[in-house]
Structure 1
């Protein structure tokens, strides 16, 4: 479902508009209000569309809301030295305008969802099937909104009652705790699971909409944010056992990163953000929080952020040498490179001569002497994911909001690897955990792991966290969330590991070569994006302007550089020790 934008004006404000005369007050028939709108399913469908539309905005997934977390991870870095540098260096300022854009977008979405939920009532047994689908979708989207807000801002205000907006006291509420927000996230996803159909039952309707499978997947994700592994494991098992619809790995890994109906909303996708394919889009790049133009492009700017400068991209974000070398360290059973490298990082490799579209970048043939870098000044390995660098469709990047590739936010491979992680946490290394990992590895032709090689849960966790997950999901949204839930910022050895992973060479030569953190003091071209990390800055600060506007709103750990390690451990979470997998 390519979601329409025409209903956006609905949510720009539910205010009552009257025209007055000496005799009477007349309701403007052309202006919908919260007192006249939303009392039937057709009206509420418009609210659903408006909510979906706003997850495709600049501060949500169309640009910075997606790429900030990519930068926060250890497998990607800011190579433009301008736009994303504060997020890459984990020192975003409280006066930064960009820092609050995700806040703006997700609260806008929450406002829409709260309105629709208020019209649905509390007794779900009284709802028609159509109304159940409506309520299930807005519950899912509200849960998704707060999942992002708590993952970025730690302690955002929790507002779930639409009546709260009727007073300034309600609007100017105070922060909620990390636990309270995640409790609500879990509740919303759990209830959505009971209301939404599966992708099998939903048919064409389910193409692009949230289903019970999407809600179940995100429910498991939310549980794992606080290491509730024993609760998440049965949910993930149910997804694998097709309780919430039929999912499978696509035979071709690259099918998850192309545009077109043949590839998008495929059997591997639990949930993805819908964008119009390039060529069928409008003409207006609307860099605004409302996006009401009937000619809006309805694409994302992810390709512009990732794309190399010499192909027209903005060259903002690059893959790390650590990720590249991780791919190079293990070959398939046929002696070839892992095909996921082809779709993740845009380098020339001899192995690609007869693979997919061969050694190309935007339809231009590459030779062994071509040294593709992201940024023509600062270098960097170009990211191929969610771009057309490898799709064979276009010869150049059309910058702006024109990337038509749907962002797959949760894939079945994530279910399998999360199930393996939970199994390992609950029962230690087991054959079942290994089997789930091997299903993901087998898709790309890698040799099966053997249970005998993983004698401790610590060792299998290391394999999952720092080999399997980065190779499967490298340069995708979510790595920053993982580093927080694993507590990698709260342990000196893990933080040192992040510094090593995040060491990069700011140069247009040698970008594929291994780099050593130990050389950083003597090599001026080297930097580590985690060297500037200060306690508490794993989260984004709550910007000062928001606190100025709302006197009840306080800052978070990033505002005050507060160490979260004690809170993390007192909540019952643990950091697994670093394990050398080569021993």
Structure 2
């Protein structure tokens, strides 16, 4: 149920002007300001919904805020060769807007609204349960925004006091270090974990909202970014044990990428962004903070970038040939294709014609896979972009749902974006176990739970003699196949330090090969056969995105990050941590 999307509460954060003549001060009860709003439990419940609204903007998760991290990774490339190109090539200048400004602007809107709630909640009379719910959600959503900001822009202002916006001496905030931001995120998420209900205890209320399980999952992510594997492992094992609610893998991997109450907010999802099912919202598109409308479509536009241009999309982003061939290299226990290929990339496969409805290892009740895409029976793989080619992406699109015959571009897709799933908990637990204790059967068992869902053969511990070997399997086989083309791969490359090791950079270049031949090329490309690789254009420091130049110009206390300065982050990373060498 998408209760959060049904409630449309607009919070006007406007400070009214005061008259010099008290006799002319007439209070309009219909025009609330931040002075007189937020002083009741009802106000704060509305304000929290307004905070959730801001994670559905262009720069948060409605489009580029989601897709830019995928483009930064090695599973997705810019098939239109425009719009995202500077971020695909990791060489954006400070005047490029879509990645430098939009996620910054929209995530700080989340910070602003959650800071407002947190500035009020301690002074409002309400039950302990209501207090915990309101404060916990605000802390989680602020942490989510800062996690995105710190992993996109590295050094960002850490603003936690709402009063600072009204003081000229504190309004223009300076950069904080990434560690300082992560320290605050850790503190906030630990509190949220303690006071938010679980998905079980929260019941209907918890559907679509942050829970203690959401906070625990993101805390593990932050800890692992900082290589605090022992601390992260404790949290992950507690999630697995059910301390923060009961989670399990859905029997059908594809259930994580469908819309509707039977699939969304399911038992595998720790947190997801809520959207209205296709065609059930309004007609106005809320792209930016100024596009507020009571008739908003309440959808996302990821499909407009991911889907095939043949079916009406903008044809901007394609899945990498490396990812496609990774799926093809390993079959299920009955010799059939990994079902995750079907839900990740749109390709024509002979098997999809012959096996529909057949009881297979991955689908014992009947295989749903077909070569029907957007209600069209295809005979070849449709291109991502009609000029440059590429393999279109199936995730977060209706390509497999077949409820529409073509893409409606813009904010119209209603599939909830699952930001964290239980399979991530299992694979992260395996990674932590491997980092702490080396390759063990425990780590293998975590991985095999994820593989068994899609009927792949179990891994054997004997095949991984070193921690480096098992890490290679996790980083470049298990995670790409489970989370291919989702938000998070770019962040993984950052935390693993792949940009700071020659062997890993060469590997990324190989993963990033693409062909500009106007076809959906699925060949295993090499330097000789590829048109290029996104990573061959990488400028040092641009694994993060530059802070927008106009933002720097407007704030005298703000300085550029490593991307603004073309500064190598390798020495600082390697002074603290090491990079796993490539294992072939």
TM-score over 0.5 for the alignment?
yes
Which residue of 2 is the match for residue 560 of structure 1? 565
| Map 1:231-242 → 2, pairs under 5 A | 231-242=231-242
* Deviation string, structure 1 residues 366-415 (Cα, Å, up to 9, x no partner): 22xx2411001100001000101011221111111001100000000000
Write the distance in 1 (CA, Å) between the matches of 2:571 and 2:52: 37
After alignment, is 470-479 or 371-380 more displaced?
371-380
Write the distance in 1 (CA, Å) between the matches of 2:231 and 2:220: 8
Paired residue for 1:537, among 539, 542, 563?
Answer: 542
How far 1:83 moved relative to its partner? 1.0
How far 1:24 moved relative to its partner? 4.5
Which residue of 1 is the match for residue 372 of structure 2? 360
Paired residue for 1:376, among 356, 381, 386?
Answer: 386
Paired residue for 2:446, among 420, 436, 451?
Answer: 436
How far 1:280 moved relative to its partner? 0.7
How far 1:566 moved relative to its partner? 1.4
- Is 1:335–2:339 an aligned residue pair? no
- Is 1:577–2:578 an aligned residue pair? no
* Cα separation, partners in 2 of 1:136 and 1:510, compared to 1, 3 Å: closer
- Is 1:75–2:75 an aligned residue pair? yes
SS in 1 for 2:288: coil
How far 1:306 moved relative to its partner? 0.5
Write the distance in 2 (CA, Å) between the matches of 1:159 and 1:379: 44
How far 1:40 moved relative to its partner? 1.7
CA RMSD between the two structures:
1.6
* Cα separation, partners in 2 of 1:7 and 1:25, compared to 1, 3 Å: farther
Which residue of 2 is the match for residue 280 of structure 1? 280
* Cα separation, partners in 2 of 1:48 and 1:476, compared to 1, 3 Å: same
| Map 1:78-227 → 2, pairs under 5 A | 78-98=78-98, 99-121=100-122, 128-227=128-227
SS in 2 for 1:270: strand
| Map 1:508-523 → 2, pairs under 5 A | 508-509=518-519, 511-517=521-527, 519=528
Which residue of 2 is the match for residue 412 of structure 1? 422
Write the distance in 1 (CA, Å) between the matches of 2:568 and 2:292: 42
Which residue of 2 is the match for residue 251 of structure 1? 251
Structure 1 residues without counterparts, runs of 5 or longer: none
Write the distance in 2 (CA, Å) between the matches of 1:553 and 1:133: 34
* Deviation string, structure 1 residues 149-201 (Cα, Å, up to 9, x no partner): 00000000000011111212211011000110111111111111011000000
Write the distance in 2 (CA, Å) between the matches of 1:429 and 1:477: 27
How far 1:357 moved relative to its partner? 4.5
Determine if contact 2:286/2:298 at 8 Å carries over to the other structure. Answer: no
Write the distance in 1 (CA, Å) between the matches of 2:403 and 2:306: 17
* Deviation string, structure 1 residues 466-485 (Cα, Å, up to 9, x no partner): 00000000000000000000
How far 1:88 moved relative to its partner? 0.4
**TM-score under structure 1 normalisation?**
0.95
Determine if contact 2:143/2:185 at 8 Å carries over to the other structure. Answer: yes
Write the distance in 2 (CA, Å) between the matches of 1:381 and 1:68: 18
* Deviation string, structure 1 residues 235-275 (Cα, Å, up to 9, x no partner): 00000000000000000000000011110000100000000
How far 1:294 moved relative to its partner? 1.3
Write the distance in 1 (CA, Å) between the matches of 2:6 and 2:83: 28
Write the distance in 2 (CA, Å) between the matches of 1:35 and 1:152: 33
- Is 1:395–2:405 an aligned residue pair? yes
* Deviation string, structure 1 residues 517-568 (Cα, Å, up to 9, x no partner): 3x1xxx5x61100001011000000011001100110000000010111111
Write the distance in 2 (CA, Å) between the matches of 1:176 and 1:27: 40
**TM-score under structure 2 normalisation?**
0.95
Which residue of 2 is the match for residue 296 of structure 1? 296
